[in-house]
Amino acid sequence: MNVLDISPVKVGGFNYALRYDTIGLARRGNVAELEHTSNEILLSEDYGPQPRLQSVIHEAMHAIIQLYYGGLSDPVLEEGIVTQLSQGWYQVMRDNPRLLQAFIELNEEQNETK
């Protein structure tokens, strides 16, 4: 699947468009970035589908922290928390397809009743 097909990623009512910025990210030494001003998640084509998907989850967690906590005052601490939580969440989704399926079914049922 093309990770860009996920776009936009909605976090707390804000839509974040996914787009590639491979050269810019490489120049800045980053795998992905969350752009608050343009509401974008920048991804690199230098990485495969799994790292790209993990990057989307990682940047979405930064967006959650920004939205609900205004970001953390210590960017190194935030990076560490986001890295561990996003890796942990990716693993939980990978190892529990029935959990993910239950979420999808519940969400579809709720949308049908709206």
What residue ranges bind Zn ion (CB under 5 A)? 79, 82
Whether the upstream peptide bond of residue 8 has omega within 30° of 0, thus cis, is: yes
Distance CA 47, CA 99 (A): 27
CB 17 within 8 A of CB 8: yes
**One-letter amino acid identity for 35?**
E
Q: How far is the CB of 82 from Zn ion (least distance, A)?
A: 5
Contact yes or no for 16/40 (Cβ under 8 A): yes
Rank residues 20 and 96 by Cβ distance to Zn ion and give the closer one: 20
Query: 1 or 76, CB closer to Zn ion?
Result: 76
In the complex, least distance from residue 103 CB atom to Zn ion, rounded to whole angstroms? 24
Give min distance, CB of 59 to Zn ion, in A: 7
Alpha helices in 1-114 (DSSP H): 22-28, 49-69, 75-95, 97-112
Nearer to Zn ion, 45 or 79 (CB): 79
CB of 104 to Zn ion, least distance (A): 27
